[in-house]
Structure 1
Amino acid sequence: MKHVIALDVGGTGMKAALVAPDGTLLHQDRRATGRHRGPEAVVDGILDFAADLHAEGEARLGRGAAAVGIAVPGLVDAEHGVAVYAANLGWKDVPLRTLIGERLGGVPVAVGHDVRSGGLAEGRAGAGRGADRFLFVALGTGIAGAIGIAGRVEEGAHGNAGEIGHVVVRPGGRPCPCGQHGCLERYASASAVGEAWARVCGDPDADAADCAAAADRGDARAREVWQEAVDALADGLITGLTLLDPQRLIVGGGLAEAGGTLFTPLREAVAARITFQRPPEIVPAALGDTAGCLGAGLLAWDLLDAPADAAAGPSPDAPTQEVPAP
């Protein structure tokens, strides 16, 4: 059976699947990223994982994969298939398309950004389905976004479209590793909320989930920390809404797991800031932590559907893949 390999590389774990043309997941697997062993070992682990998945397809389905889609964190040059930089993995300028292609005997490879790949999956098969234009924002260790337009996700001229986490919402505020001060992700990411709550409550092991739980219990200190994050997030999102005018705003990542504790005040905060803008639907992501892997599969199928000399990104004319939600 014709299929592709979908591989999502995270800071701690890798998720993978063999995906059929109709989106059926024919095989799924997970492995540790092993970043403690260094960037070269991480790349070796990715290549080994891809080779094992290729062999799995040959053994179970009678043929190897037709293409590979891989989603990775950090800065990505999707056009040339290069993982440019990822602080949490310690790598720089890794030619993943070339390395994986050579390891698998010339199989075509699409390389994409993890959040943009997740946004692609949400747009075609998740919370963004039916919206011609959407903004997907993932609230995790940092904050990143994906701009969905007409069935594809915008990469930008330099591969950095959607980096809403580095919109400055508090000028002169907390320093950010990017070199700016007051970036959105220093106030509204899961890690930022966890750090703020740990300082307030005195428990160095406290995290964002603990803050949300305490806020639900009525703890005034937790509610103040939580509201500070919500207000910062609303300020950042208003910038995105003003620039992009999306029909739907999709919020995912670890912080979104708080459910109504996040979405109720967030909708109120965004509504309070809207003047001339048309308010979008604000909805939770639907695909959970499988979105990156599912998006990587879509990148692979789009690569096969694109002209031979096209960049390895989503094709505007590619048919929508029906990817089942987990």
Structure 2
Amino acid sequence: MNHVIALDVGGTAIKAALVAPDHRLLHEARRPTGRERGPEAVVSGILDFAAELRELGRQRYGRPAEAAGVAVPGIVDDEAGTAVYAANLGWRDVPLRDLLSVRLDGTPVALGHDVRTGGLAEGRVGAGRGADRFLFVPLGTGIAGAIGIDGRIEKGAHGYAGEIGHISVRPGGPECGCGGRGCLETLASASAVSRAWAAASGDPDADAADCAKAVESGDPRAREVWREAVDALADGLVTALTLLDPKTLIIGGGLAEAGETLFAPLRAAVERRVTFQKLPLIVPAALGDTAGCLGAGLLAWDLLAAQQPTTPTEVSA
């Protein structure tokens, strides 16, 4: 069985898989990143995990993986194969692609940004399948975006395309980790809703999922927290769709797990704000937390396809 190794590195856990050419996940596993032991330990854990998967593939299918793909958070230079910076992992300028290739005995390795990689999977085999232009926005600890155009994900000139979470929707609002104020992710991410609901409810352990349940039960405090988050999100999304004109807007991440408690008011809020713009389909992500591994697998298969020699076209005399 031909297969590739896929790794999705998050702030707290590494998800991994062996992925078939038809995108089936042949084997799935996960383990903690070990970030409390420092960035060197995180990198070591990634390399060890990949090596174990390579050996598993060899034993199970009689051959090693043909390539590997890895998705990481933060700032990524995928052309150089470098994990430039990730605040939640503490690393800087890690040549992860080369380190993995050496550890995997020369296996080709592709490196990508976690949100863009998840967007690649949603576009190819998930909720954006068939859409020539889409925007994938996961609402988690922060907010980022992946811009899908004709089957590829736009990186931009400097690798920052899609950073919708840092659009200022409330100028002068809460300070953001990026240094700005009133950024979308300070108001509408799952972590922002968790903070707001913990303060409003007086329960320091309350989170966004608890807020959604309270909204469904009719709690007026929860409804106000939710309304403010949805309004901020709609403002950011309308700015994005005005610039990008996507056919489909895919919302994922932890906040999207609230289902229609999120999507019904969000669709209405976006519709109220559009004027000349065409209203896109607003749909939930389809792949859940497998998107990162599926996307990393796609990176690996795409890398192999790009390395295939082309056959010269015969020219008749």
**TM-score range with shorter-chain normalisation?**
over 0.9
User: In the aligned structure 1, how far is the partner of 2:298 from the partner of 2:171?
Assistant: 38
Q: Secondary structure at the match of 1:143?
A: coil
TM superposition shift of 1:161: 1.1
Match of 2:315 in 1: none
TM superposition shift of 1:65: 1.0
User: In the aligned structure 2, how far is the partner of 1:19 from the partner of 1:222?
Assistant: 41
Select the structure of larger CA radius of gyration.
Answer: 2
**Cα shift readout 1:110-167 (whole Å, capped 9, x = no counterpart):** 0001111111100011100110100000000000110001111111111111110001
Identity percentage over the alignment? 75
Match of 2:153 in 1: 153
TM superposition shift of 1:23: 1.5
Q: Tell me the matched-pair count.
A: 309
Match of 1:314 in 2: none
TM-score, normalised to structure 2's length?
0.96
Match of 2:217 in 1: 217
Match of 1:22 in 2: 22
User: In the aligned structure 1, how far is the partner of 2:286 from the partner of 2:128?
Assistant: 9
User: In the aligned structure 2, how far is the partner of 1:282 from the partner of 1:66?
Assistant: 37
TM superposition shift of 1:308: 7.2
Pick which of 11-20 and 167-176 moved more: 11-20
TM superposition shift of 1:222: 0.6
Match of 1:192 in 2: 192
**Cα shift readout 1:198-227 (whole Å, capped 9, x = no counterpart):** 111111111111111111111111100000
| Aligned-partner residue type, residue 171 of structure 1 | P
Match of 1:296 in 2: 296
Match of 1:141 in 2: 141
Match of 1:276 in 2: 276
- Please list every run of 5 or more consecutive structure 2 residues that lacks an aligned counterpart in the other structure: 310-317
Q: Does 1:4 align with 2:4?
A: yes
Match of 1:56 in 2: 56
| Aligned-partner residue type, residue 88 of structure 1 | N
> Mapping of 1:41-190 within 5 angstroms?
41-190=41-190
**Cα shift readout 1:165-220 (whole Å, capped 9, x = no counterpart):** 00110011110010000100000000000101111111111111111111111111
User: In the aligned structure 2, how far is the partner of 1:28 from the partner of 1:200?
Assistant: 39
**Cα shift readout 1:216-259 (whole Å, capped 9, x = no counterpart):** 11111110000000000000000110010000000000000000
User: In the aligned structure 2, how far is the partner of 1:88 from the partner of 1:159?
Assistant: 19
- Report the aligned-residue RMSD: 1.1
Q: Does 1:203 align with 2:207?
A: no
- Please list every run of 5 or more consecutive structure 1 residues that lacks an aligned counterpart in the other structure: 310-326
User: In the aligned structure 2, how far is the partner of 1:288 from the partner of 1:274?
Assistant: 28
| Aligned-partner residue type, residue 274 of structure 1 | V
Match of 1:246 in 2: 246
* Runs ≥4 residues deviating over 3 A: none
